[in-house]
Copies of this chain bind each other. A is one copy, B any other.
Amino acid sequence: MPTPRRAGAERAGPEANGGPQTAAGRPRSEEAHRAILDATLSLLVEVGYSALTVEGIAQRAGVGKATIYRRWPSKLPLVVEAFGDLPAFEEADTGGLASDLDRILRSYVRVYNTTPLGAVVPSLAGELPHNPQLMDLFAPVVKQRRQPLIRALHRAIERGEIPPDTDLDLAADMIVGPMTVRVFFTPGKLSPKIVPAMIALALDGLRRGGAAGSAGS
């Protein structure tokens, strides 16, 4: 328990950012907010997650540590929110699954190669098995990110390109799996050269019902 005497205690508390300040007083600086998120991302690129320190973020953003902890309860949610600000994958509706996949997967490669995504994803994934609340935080973001792919598969079913009983989540795992493995275990730039191979493999398999929901008996 802290001393009952508190001078400038926060009222909004470290709940979800943007929690409305209940009443008058100096409003939270939107500028500081952005500076913190920007500093987090740029430091992630430079030093990686494990070497990321809150003091380093505060210093680069030009804010005090308390200003960070006033908005995020710990380092992890901050990184998760910064992660959510990274560019999304491209939406593609070209009329055919093959060309949709080509567009989408190439945007995966582009995003992985030009943002800290490749560094952040493994770091956060490594925490998942033992941090259920991070799971709650992270799952919707991951789900959101794969929507373009899910929607492309959905349209392919409607066009009759792949079997109607295809398990969309499993199919999506199969399509992005190879790329994900490379991102995790082969740090460095991802070559766009693997995209055609991934598409050829996935397309053939999917058309033949390789990801049918009932395949597992």
Is B187 a contact partner of A50 (Cβ separation < 8 A)?
no
CA distance A180 to B203 in the complex (A): 20
Q: Given the known inter-chain contacts A196-B215, A215-B196, please indicate yes or no for A184 contacting B174, CB distance below 8 A.
A: no
Q: Given the known inter-chain contacts A126-B125, A181-B173, please indicate yes or no for A206 contacting B201, CB distance below 8 A.
A: yes
Kindly provide the distance from the CB of A109 to the nearest chain B CB, expressed in whole angstroms. Answer: 12
Which of A47, A182, A209, A216 gathers most chain B CB within 10 Å? Answer: A216
Is A51 close to B, CB under 8 A?
yes
Is A191 close to B, CB under 8 A?
yes
- A201: chain B residues at CB < 8 Å are 174, 201-202, 205-206, 210-211
CA distance A216 to B190 in the complex (A): 13
Is A208 a contact partner of B197 (Cβ separation < 8 A)?
no
Is A164 close to B, CB under 8 A?
no
Is A204 a contact partner of B210 (Cβ separation < 8 A)?
yes
Is A212 close to B, CB under 8 A?
yes
Is A217 a contact partner of B193 (Cβ separation < 8 A)?
yes
* Binding-face segment, A16-24, A62-70, A84-92, A116-124: A116-124
CA distance A170 to B179 in the complex (A): 10
- Number of identical protomers: 2
Is A9 close to B, CB under 8 A?
no
Which of A47, A128, A179 gathers most chain B CB within 10 Å? Answer: A128
Is B187 a contact partner of A210 (Cβ separation < 8 A)?
no
Is A198 close to B, CB under 8 A?
yes
Closest to A49 in B: B126
Is A131 close to B, CB under 8 A?
yes
Is A178 a contact partner of B185 (Cβ separation < 8 A)?
no
Scan residues 120-145 of chain A and give those whose CB is less than 8 A from a CB of chain B.
122-131, 135, 142
Is A184 a contact partner of B50 (Cβ separation < 8 A)?
no
Scan residues 157-206 of chain A and give those whose CB is less than 8 A from a CB of chain B.
167, 170, 173-174, 176-182, 184-185, 187, 191-198, 200-206
A residues sitting closer than 8 Å to B (CB atoms) are 47-51, 118-119, 122-131, 135, 142, 167, 170, 173-174, 176-182, 184-185, 187, 191-198, 200-206, 208-212, 215-217
